[in-house]
Amino acid sequence: MSFIELGDKKKAIPFLTLPASHFEKYLVAWLYSYVIFQLVFMAGFSLIDSIVIHLGTAPVEERDQQMNVFLMDENFSVVFVIYALFNGLTLLGAVFFEKMHFIKTAVIFFICLIILVLLNNQLLNLFIGKSSQGNVPFQGAGLNEKTNFFRIYPDKSITQYGNYVIELTALLLWIGAFFRLKEKEV
| C-alpha closest to that of 89 among 185, 182, 186, 180 | 180
Task: Check residues 124 and 175 and name the one with the higher pLDDT.
Answer: 175
DSSP string, 70-132: T-GGGT-THHHHHHHHHHHHHHHHHHH-SSSHHHHHHHHHHHHHHHHHHHHHHHHHHHT-TTB
Question: Would you state the pLDDT for residue 96?
Answer: 87
Could you report the per-residue pLDDT of 11-21, keeping only the tens digit for each? 777 777 778 88
What's the chain's average pLDDT?
81
Question: Would you state the pLDDT for residue 186?
Answer: 58
Question: Would you state the pLDDT for residue 172?
Answer: 95
Question: Would you state the pLDDT for residue 158?
Answer: 77
pLDDT over 90 (residue 173): yes
Rounded distance, CA 179 to CA 102, Å? 19
Q: Which of the given ranges, 5-9, 54-58, 78-82, 125-129, has the highest pLDDT on average?
A: 78-82
Could you report the per-residue pLDDT of 6-53, keeping only the tens digit for each? 777 777 777 777 788 888 888 988 999 999 999 999 899 888 888 887
What pTM was estimated for this model as a whole?
0.77
Could you report the per-residue pLDDT of 59-109, keeping only the tens digit for each? 666 656 666 766 666 667 778 888 999 999 999 888 888 888 889 999 999
